[in-house]
A and B are shown apart, each in its own frame.
Chain A
Amino acid sequence: MDQAYELYDAILSGNAKAAGALAQEAIDNGADPGGMVASRMIPAMDEVGRRFECGDCYVPELLLAGRAMKAALNVVRPLLAAGATERAGTVVIGTVQGDLHDIGKNLVTAVLEGAGFLVHDLGVDVPAARFVEAVKEKQPDILALSALLTVTLPAMKSTLDALARAQVRHRVKVMVGGAPVTRQYADEIGADAYSDNAFGAVKLARALMGENPPCSTVR
């Protein structure tokens, strides 16, 4: 088996150390970096995504595969033609003010990063003003807001209001999610998209970036 095939397996099995080493070995042996990404690395991630969606693997396998992909990309990226490794997009993410829950947000962050997005995580209990500041400073394509408590839902609306008051609402697409969030609520507060799970969030983010046709959860 050549290194490229082994690289596919290393990514699929989440072995970051092997993935990095095999990518280097393949490059040293004259493999085409662009071809390697297209024919081995991306298909490996697609396969692990497919397995997850079918219920054949869990989040840890998915995240470990993402970590292995990153290790291989670190080797390959400098050799690719300019523009070939552009980010899928930039996202600012945070849990809204008053809410300390972060596992859902962290999962969305990890999955977005695995999908090639640059993610700026503002953490938990983030005041609206800090989201506004980050939109101005980081100039993200997408702002992702998370909440787990019913009583912190209104902070999502306050954040959108603050973006409007600061006249930056038009600069960014806003995506919302979390246990008490509904599509209806997302519509009411004027969010651009809503997802009830991390993987849906990635699809939405891609749709918002114009990669895929808009789906029903994108306004």
Chain B
Amino acid sequence: MQYRALAIPDPRQLVYGRSPRPVKCGFDLEIGGGLVFPEVNFTLPAIEIRADTWSEVMAQYHEMAGNIVRRAVALQVPGIVLEFELLPPMTANPPWGAEITRLLRQHLAEAYDRHGLRSALRVTPTDIRDQTRPPVLREGAPWENLARSFEMCIEAGADIVSIESVGGKELHDPGLMYADLRQIVFAVGVLAPRDTAWLWDRISQMCGAQGRAIPGGDSACGFANTAMQLAHQKMLPEVLAAVVRAMSAVRSLVAFEHGAVGPSKDCAYEGPVIKAITGCPISMEGKSASCAHFSPIGNVAACVCDLWSNESVQNVRLLSGSAPEAYTELLAYDCRLMNIAASQGHGLLLRDWLSQSDEDLSAQAAMLSPAATCRIAGAIVNADDQYQRTIAAGKSAVCELRERAAAGRLKLSAKEKQWLDRIEAELSALPGEDDLRAEMLDRCADLFAPRSYGWE
């Protein structure tokens, strides 16, 4: 099914906490039904994951889950999502990921029974299919272990499953480093959608087969967040990262065209566009994810979220307790403020403040404003195929940046303006999909395997 219209055409209806298609999951939790809930993501400190360290790994997760739940109960959160992102060895060895899933689920079950804490567990296996160069995406041990990992984690109690899929990244990474727009667009607009479609047909089927977990969504983390971090380190132009962000929404939307229902993944900053198009709830992260990474979008990221996440925090000791419980508290207070504002009819005002506090300070933040979100989303649904949609999203991002700069709202350096000109010219000069594919098969034959994308 391809989305042809916006589920939320009016930017004033694009708000946090409420989605036209809320989802129910886990322990009596409705996401997108009016409240924003914290989504806490946590990870291990430095420890090797091996059979002989496994009891210590389990003890760490037991401690983290216990501390998070205790803090959530103490703060009377109306609901919470725990996210467990499997580490590569846990996906490569599916019973390990399933064992931790079972443990976390048990903590949530006990908290629901004892305290009535509404909750859900999101589980995100690592996409380990890119271990070889070029990656073999549709066969072999990595894919088999990834698929088995999904199955076993669903069986062990995952309420929501997600992934940060990597199809196309093998071309996108070098494309970014050389700012090669043709290669970037081919990677994110042709290869990635093909892989996402293939993958999500299978993930949705696995969820359906067991009947309890919901297929959440995919994240363009490996594409747009890579660009964002490189821009932050002054390695790439910020306008390029902003345009890549807009274009990456197309490949993440494909997951929803193939069964995902939300909430989308927290690091998918393309989430607002997904929400505007699909009406499905989304998870976002921003200022309270500073434990994991820098971002120029700390407030604006919260504008239309349904879950509010910390991205990932290590289990290290802080003065107030462990870092995961401290970040639970941060998120709880962020959500409390958003929810009270909405309940008193000020949700739109707070949303606009969140947007206005960031959107003129960074090209990337501008992309996440509700106005830009609706514009990019509209450009996507008005184009025909994934390739044309990707180009349309890129061009609408360029227009948005130009208009903001021309109005004196967004300050772009001369160097950034030159890059914007170059990006615009290159987007306009892109050939048809077949011609670009032929060019890439010729120029980048050593970087990707056509059979990974269904081409012989």
A113 touches B (CB below 8 Å): no
B43 touches A (CB below 8 Å): yes
Q: A-contacting residues of B (Cβ < 8 Å)?
A: 43-49, 87-89, 126, 128, 130-133, 173-174, 176-180, 226, 230, 233-237, 314, 415, 419
**Could you say which of A150, A155, A197 contacts B44, with CB atoms under 8 Å apart?**
A150
Asked if A102 meets B131 with Cβ closer than 8 Å, knowing A55-B234, A58-B237, A197-B233, the reply is no
Does the CB pair A98–B179 fall under 8 Å? no
- Contact partners of A197 in chain B: CB under 8 A: 233
Which of A55, A102, A103, A197 has the largest number of chain B CB atoms within 10 A?
Answer: A103
CB distance from A157 to the nearest CB of B (A): 9
- Could you show 15 A-B contacts with beta carbons less than 8 Å apart? A56-B415, A60-B236, A63-B177, A64-B178, A100-B88, A100-B126, A103-B173, A103-B230, A107-B177, A107-B235, A124-B130, A151-B49, A153-B46, A154-B47, A154-B48
Asked if A60 meets B130 with Cβ closer than 8 Å, knowing A98-B88, A102-B173, A154-B48, the reply is no
**Could you say which of B43, B132, B236 contacts A151, with CB atoms under 8 Å apart?**
B43
CB distance from B50 to the nearest CB of A (A): 9
Contact string against B for A residues 103-115, beta-carbon threshold 8 Å, 1 for contact and 0 otherwise: 1001100100000
CB distance from B218 to the nearest CB of A (A): 17
Does the CB pair B314–A150 fall under 8 Å? yes
Asked if A59 meets B230 with Cβ closer than 8 Å, knowing A125-B131, A150-B46, the reply is yes
Does the CB pair A100–B131 fall under 8 Å? yes
- Contact partners of B178 in chain A: CB under 8 A: 60, 63-64
Does the CB pair A151–B48 fall under 8 Å? yes
CB closest chain-A residue, reference B48: A154
A213 touches B (CB below 8 Å): no
**How many chain A residues touch the partner (CB < 8 A)?**
28
Asked if A151 meets B177 with Cβ closer than 8 Å, knowing A58-B235, A58-B237, A100-B128, the reply is no
CB closest chain-A residue, reference B133: A123
Q: A72 to B46: give the CA distance in the assembly, Å.
A: 45
Does the CB pair B88–A125 fall under 8 Å? yes
Does the CB pair A154–B236 fall under 8 Å? no
Tally of contacts, chain A with chain B, CB under 8 A: 71
CB distance from A198 to the nearest CB of B (A): 8
Q: A7 to B180: give the CA distance in the assembly, Å.
A: 23
CB closest chain-B residue, reference A62: B235
Does the CB pair B236–A98 fall under 8 Å? no
Q: B-contacting residues of A (Cβ < 8 Å)?
A: 55-60, 63-64, 98-100, 102-103, 106-107, 110, 123-125, 149-151, 153-155, 158, 180, 197
- Contact partners of B89 in chain A: CB under 8 A: 98
- Contact partners of A155 in chain B: CB under 8 A: 48
**Could you say which of A56, A59, A153, A158 contacts B236, with CB atoms under 8 Å apart?**
A59
CB distance from B224 to the nearest CB of A (A): 13
- Contact partners of A56 in chain B: CB under 8 A: 415
Q: A77 to B415: give the CA distance in the assembly, Å.
A: 34
Does the CB pair B88–A158 fall under 8 Å? no
CB closest chain-A residue, reference B316: A150
Q: A154 to B87: give the CA distance in the assembly, Å.
A: 14
**Could you say which of B128, B131, B132, B236 contacts A58, with CB atoms under 8 Å apart?**
B236
CB distance from B108 to the nearest CB of A (A): 23
Q: A102 to B87: give the CA distance in the assembly, Å.
A: 16
- Contact partners of B226 in chain A: CB under 8 A: 103
Which of A98, A151, A155 has the largest number of chain B CB atoms within 10 A?
Answer: A151
CB distance from B329 to the nearest CB of A (A): 22
Q: A57 to B88: give the CA distance in the assembly, Å.
A: 35
Does the CB pair A158–B48 fall under 8 Å? yes
- Contact partners of A180 in chain B: CB under 8 A: 46
Q: A2 to B89: give the CA distance in the assembly, Å.
A: 58
Does the CB pair A60–B179 fall under 8 Å? yes
Asked if A106 meets B177 with Cβ closer than 8 Å, knowing A151-B43, A154-B48, the reply is yes
- Contact partners of B126 in chain A: CB under 8 A: 100
Which of A56, A58, A123, A158 has the largest number of chain B CB atoms within 10 A?
Answer: A58
- Contact partners of A153 in chain B: CB under 8 A: 46
